[in-house]
Amino acid sequence: MSKHTIIWLHGLGASGDDFVSLPDALKLPPEMDMRFVFPNAPMMPVTLNQGYTMRAWFDVYGLSAESKIDVAGILRSCDFINQLVDTEIARGVPSHRILLGGFSQGAAMALVAGLTFKKQLGGVIALSGFLPMAREVFETASAVNRSAPIFLAHGKADSVVVYTLGEMTYEALLKAGYSVSWHAYESMPHTVSDKEILDISQWMKNLLG
């Protein structure tokens, strides 16, 4: 049994395999004993991509703050992520040693699931994403996760999930009283950078070490 678990959620059209190099890249100390779980989103037609079927945590209608939100899809994926967390708890990992992380659409799901999960989690890592259904999430947020630390990061050169959405998410979380470590990367597009990996690693060591 591992001491800690992180469940990492991939982006739209990707798969869990996209981040299998993450454990080595983070270079976490062995005593942290971190188990990584890389689930796959279901295959579904995505409206934004002309109905093309791909792995997605929820349907996407647009990439602006005003775009329609697939509430049913988000809630379905939230239930799935909750089950993954419950599986880790059943394996013997206490909930407060379980983290949720993700990139892009996976970051959106990590935030929604992390803020609403009914048991205390260790924290949330959200890269190049946003918080969908922010008002509904804050209204149904779990009191025990009000203090859950959040690592939030975004590239200023992101043309997919624009930087403004990340900044709006940061401001909304701060206003709602969450503890957020905010990282903006000057020339980073919609990707994960080496500097970002170093910052995540340091944040995790400070949090869990």
In sequence order, which ranges of 91-133 are alpha helices (DSSP H)? Answer: 105-116
Work out the average pLDDT over 64-82: 95
Catalytic member of 2, 86, 190, 199: 190
Of the pLDDT bands very low, low, confident and very high (cuts 50, 70, 90), residue 209 is confident
Catalytic member of 70, 95, 158, 183: 158
- Superfamily classification of domain 4-208: Alpha/Beta hydrolase fold, catalytic domain (3.40.50.1820)
**Half-sphere exposure in the Cβ direction for 27 (13 Å, CA):** 6
53-68 pLDDT, tens per residue?
999 999 999 988 888 9
Which residue matches tokens 């799901």? 109
Bridge partners, 54 (sequence order): 44
pTM over 0.95: yes
- Is 158 one of the catalytic residues? yes
Report whether 134 contacts 158 (CB < 8 A): no
What are the residue boundaries of the structural domains of the chain, listed by start?
Answer: 4-208
Three-state DSSP class for residue 158? coil
**Comparing C-alpha atoms, which of 118, 95, 2, 103 is closest to residue 57?**
103
> Where on the phi/psi map is residue 46: left (φ > 0), alpha (ψ -120 to 50), or beta?
beta
**Comparing C-alpha atoms, which of 156, 157, 135, 132 is closest to residue 62?**
132
106-165 pLDDT, tens per residue?
999 999 999 999 999 999 999 999 999 999 999 999 999 999 999 999 999 999 999 999
**Comparing C-alpha atoms, which of 125, 85, 124, 128 is closest to residue 105?**
128
Q: Which residues contact 122 (CB under 8 A, 6 or more apart)?
A: 4, 95, 96, 97, 98, 99, 148, 207, 208
Report whether 42 contacts 72 (CB < 8 A): no
Helix 71-90, helix 105-116: angle, nearest 10: 70
Catalytic member of 104, 128, 154, 183: 104
Burial of 53 (0-12, 13-18, 19+ CB in 10 A): exposed
